[in-house]
């Protein structure tokens, strides 16, 4: 029995630096991913959005790799979000269960799909936590609006909050390939079936949609907040104009009265 373990270790990982840092056999590499073979039946999968996945590595071996990667990270976080799944190799058999995957052989593409989907699950956990926090902050403002009839957030802070939400939305779109099928599945029916079954097991598509819907709800609230603040600012400018007109009229009246 083998195990795939995925960790979230940073916001971003520089793939080019990883290639230099880990002089291992490269099975696949682009600007977003690095898939490595680390000796006999051992694989490492690194993603630009801060995920590292291991196949058939002991905890000690994982710790050595993670410590090595920490030297090129802008931030050093102890891995908190993790996901794991057992992998069993049985010749001629392919099956995905709740807590175990059975593969027909040690084909690197089969293992890569398991590592990819496990890593995507961890990424979804991370973005779920982030959007939960953003929604909680948004709810605080809506609750205050309901109770007091006004907002207590300034225009600058609101713009920063909107920017933060949009950045998270962009990161999710750029980093998660939940609805994209890997190239390796296009011409191999077994790989395609494995990929679909893994997505279903990790419930990736439903979790992705939930995060996306949560962000849309937050964005709708922030658009409303922006309209309220714009109206408040517009009303303030109207009062300034009215006061200036009154001052001008009084000044003219006093000038004529003196004369």
201 and 231 inside one domain: yes
What integer best gives the mean pLDDT of the chain?
87
CB burial of residue 50 (10 Å; 0-12, 13-18, 19+) = buried
211 and 165 inside one domain: yes
Query: In which residue are the tokens 């991370």 written?
Result: 126
124 and 249 inside one domain: yes
User: What's the mean pLDDT in 156-180?
Assistant: 82
Return contacts of 33-40, CB within 8 angstroms, 24+ apart: 35/108, 35/112, 35/115, 37/108
pLDDT at 210 (0 to 100): 92
pLDDT at 236 (0 to 100): 66
pLDDT at 103 (0 to 100): 95
Q: Which residues of 96-110 are buried (b: 16+ CB within 10 A; e: fewer)?
A: beeeebebeeeebbb
- The CATH number given to whatever domain includes residue 169 is 1.20.58.120
135 occurs within a structural domain: yes
101 and 196 inside one domain: no
Smallest Cα–Cα separation from 109: which of 166, 188, 11? 188
Residue 101 CA to residue 131 CA, distance in Å, equals 30
Q: Is 88:74 a contact under the CB 8 Å cutoff? A: no
102 and 126 inside one domain: no
How far is CA 256 from its chain centroid?
A: 68
How far is CA 35 from its chain centroid?
A: 20
Residue 161 CA to residue 19 CA, distance in Å, equals 36
Residue 32, classed as helix, strand or coil, is: coil
**Which of the listed residues 47, 75, 109 is the one where a domain comes to its end?**
109
Domain residue limits at 76: 2-109
207 and 96 inside one domain: no
pLDDT at 173 (0 to 100): 80
91 and 170 inside one domain: no
- The CATH number given to whatever domain includes residue 105 is 3.30.310
123 and 205 inside one domain: yes
pLDDT at 57 (0 to 100): 97
Q: Is the pLDDT of residue 258 over 90?
A: no
**Which of the listed residues 109, 144, 166 is the one where a domain comes to its end?**
109
Q: Is the pLDDT of residue 170 over 90?
A: no
Could you give the number of structural domains in the chain? 2
**Which of the listed residues 47, 81, 109 is the one where a domain comes to its end?**
109
Cα 150-153-155 angle, rounded to 5 deg: 110
Distances (CA, A) of 116 to 28, 153, 182: 12, 40, 10
User: What's the mean pLDDT in 15-36?
Assistant: 94
64 and 130 inside one domain: no
234 occurs within a structural domain: yes
Q: Is the pLDDT of residue 235 over 70?
A: no
- Per-residue DSSP letter, 70: G
92 and 195 inside one domain: no
11 occurs within a structural domain: yes
More confident residue, 11 or 35: 35
Q: Is 103:3 a contact under the CB 8 Å cutoff? A: no
Distances (CA, A) of 216 to 28, 209, 210, 250: 35, 10, 10, 51
Q: Model confidence over 85-129: pLDDT tens digits?
A: 999 999 989 999 888 999 999 999 999 999 999 999 999 999 999
Backbone angles phi, psi at 243, to 5 degrees: -65, -40
Q: Is the pLDDT of residue 147 over 70?
A: yes
71 and 170 inside one domain: no
pLDDT at 183 (0 to 100): 80
Q: Is the pLDDT of residue 84 over 90?
A: yes
Q: Is the pLDDT of residue 176 over 80?
A: no
What pLDDT band is residue 231 in, cutting at 50, 70 and 90?
A: low
133 and 153 inside one domain: yes
114 occurs within a structural domain: no
Pick from 43-47, 63-67, 146-150: least confident = 146-150
pLDDT at 234 (0 to 100): 60
């Amino acid at each position: 029995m083998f195990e795939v373990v995925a960790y979230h270790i940073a916001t971003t990982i520089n793939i080019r630096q990883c290639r230099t840092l880990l002089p291992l056999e490269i099975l696949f590499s682009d600007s977003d991913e690095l898939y490595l073979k680390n000796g006999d039946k051992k694989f490492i999968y690194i993603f630009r959005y801060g995920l590292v996945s291991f196949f058939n590595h002991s905890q000690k071996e994982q710790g050595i790799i993670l410590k090595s990667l920490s030297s090129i990270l802008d931030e050093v976080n102890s891995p908190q979000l993790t996901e794991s799944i057992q992998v069993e190799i049985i010749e001629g058999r392919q099956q995905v269960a709740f807590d175990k995957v059975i593969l027909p052989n040690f084909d690197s593409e089969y293992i890569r799909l398991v590592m990819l989907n496990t890593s995507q699950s961890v990424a979804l956990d991370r973005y779920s936590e982030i959007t939960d926090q953003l929604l909680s902050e948004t709810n605080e403002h809506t609750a205050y609006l309901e109770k007091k009839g006004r907002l207590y957030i300034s225009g600058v802070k609101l713009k920063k909050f909107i920017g933060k939400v949009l950045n998270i939305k962009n990161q999710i779109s750029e980093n998660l390939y939940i609805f994209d099928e890997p190239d390796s599945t296009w011409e191999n029916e077994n790989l395609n079936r494995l990929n679909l079954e893994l997505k279903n097991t990790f419930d990736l598509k439903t979790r992705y949609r939930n995060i996306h819907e949560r962000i849309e709800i937050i964005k709708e609230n922030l658009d409303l907040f922006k309209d309220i603040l714009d109206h408040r600012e517009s009303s303030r400018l109207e009062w300034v104009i009215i006061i200036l007109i009154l001052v001008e009229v009084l000044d003219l009246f006093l000038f004529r009265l003196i004369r």
